[in-house]
Amino acid sequence: MLRKFVSMTQVCVWLDVPRATYYRWRAAKEKTLDHVVEKVRVLCMEHKFRYGYRKMTAILRREYMVNHKRIQRIMQKEQLQCRVKKRKAMGQPAYVAEHHLKRQFQADAPLQKFVADIMYLPFGRKMMYLSSMLDLFNGEIVEWSMSDKKDTEFVLDTLHQLPALSGTILNRDQGSVYTSQAY
């Protein structure tokens, strides 16, 4: 900001610092920045551009004293931002069920009201999926199944594990597997 009004030579005179000392300090600072830029580049490639500047700063703070804003600027300048996966639009659901629970998430007896959902479980480099049905009477998982593919067969497997029931309400989200024709 002051560079418009005062030269660096004048500032060095005021502070009684030799100009050579200032420029040596500035060159050393830029060298350390080059090392940080290279380290950020290596980390981004190592982690396949999945980490943003916050996570990258946390990793770099193990070795260096860095500010998150500096890491953000470096990543923007070097175009090393994390790649965001775009979700696929699955289209219109085959069937939209009525909401019979009407936000009454308590049951008076067992096997009266169930809720179903899918949980994503990172497992090494793969993603595993857990489909479960919970009884709202006591919060117990009644049935569950696990798969490495999130498809209709996977949730139907969980549904077919249930015994024959009458008058039971099953609540689930409006996800593509739950609104498919087969389900």
The reply to whether 11 falls in a domain is: yes
pLDDT at 110 over 60: yes
Q: Does residue 108 share a domain with residue 149? A: yes
Q: Measured between alpha carbons, how far is 119 from 103 in angstroms, rounded to an integer?
A: 21
Domain stop point among 46, 77, 108 = 77
- pLDDT reported for residue 68: 93
Q: Which residue has the higher pLDDT, 123 or 76?
A: 76
Phi, psi of 138 (to 5 degrees): -130, 5
Q: Note the pLDDT of residue 167.
A: 74
Q: Is residue 83 part of a domain?
A: no
For residue 137, give both structure tokens. Answer: 């009477």
Asked if 112 and 176 sit in the same domain, the reply is yes
Number of compact structural domains in the chain: 2
Look up the pTM and report it. Answer: 0.47
Q: Do 42 and 95 belong to one domain?
A: no
Higher-scoring residue by pLDDT: 31, 120: 120
| pLDDT tens per residue, range 10-31 | 889 989 999 999 888 887 776 6
Token code pair at residue 165: 């029931």
Shared domain check, 179 and 143? yes
Average pLDDT over the chain, rounded to an integer: 82
The pLDDT of residue 96: 63
Strand residues in 1-135 grouped as ranges (E): 113-123, 126-135
Which residues contact residue 47 at a Cβ distance below 8 angstroms, ignoring those fewer than 6 apart?
Answer: none
pLDDT at 183: 62
pLDDT at site 118: 87
Looking at residue 71, its pLDDT comes to: 92
The DSSP call for residue 3 is G
CB atoms within 10 A of CB 37: 17
**Domain check: are 66 and 28 in the same one?**
yes
* 92 and 179 together in one domain: yes
Residues 121 and 170 in one domain: yes
Average pLDDT over residues 111-139: 86
**102 shares a domain with 65:** no
- Gap between the terminal Cα atoms of the chain: 65
Residue with tokens 């600072």, as numbered in its chain: 29
Shared domain check, 181 and 109: yes
* Residues 134 and 155 both lie in one domain: yes
Domain boundary among 77, 111, 144: 77
93 by DSSP, 3-state: which? coil
Query: pLDDT confidence of 55, banded at 50, 70, 90?
Result: very high
User: Can you give the residue range of the structural domain that contains 11?
Assistant: 2-77
Average pLDDT over residues 85-97: 61
Q: Is 150 domain-assigned? A: yes
* SS3 state at 121: strand
Query: What is the structure's pLDDT at 92?
Result: 59
pLDDT for 107 equals 77
